[in-house]
Amino acid sequence: MASLLKMLAWGALSSSVGTAALAIIRGVPMQLLVKAIPLLSILPATLLSSLSSLIVAIMAIEAGLLAFLLLFAMSEFILLQVMIEHHTRSR
């Protein structure tokens, strides 16, 4: 189970980096970004149109890092519990 969580963690990190790269390469329409985050509608349209792909890329990397940390920490916690169980039963 711990190995599966580690594989999922690395998969989440790599897919978020891929998503960020695609967002920068292809660009993100400004209307999609404003629909997703209504708070961004207060920014000027010219600034938002030039930064929209960068904002999406940063958000994708942050989400991927968070998922990576959570999944990796859960796998390490499982391994720690197994080691504690193993060492307490061997005595």
pLDDT digits (tens, 9 = 90+) for 4-33: 999 999 999 999 999 888 888 877 776 666
Annotated domain spans of the chain: 2-89
Concatenated DSSP letters of 21-60: HHHHHH---HHHHHHH-GGGGGS-HHHHHHHHHHHHHHHH
Burial-class residue 64 by CB neighbours within 10 Å (0-12, 13-18, 19+). buried
* Residue among 4, 12, 26, 22 nearest 62 (CA): 12
0.95 exceeded by the pTM? no
pLDDT greater than 80 at residue 72 = yes
pLDDT greater than 80 at residue 82 = yes
More confident residue, 89 or 39: 89
* Residue among 61, 49, 60, 57 nearest 24 (CA): 57
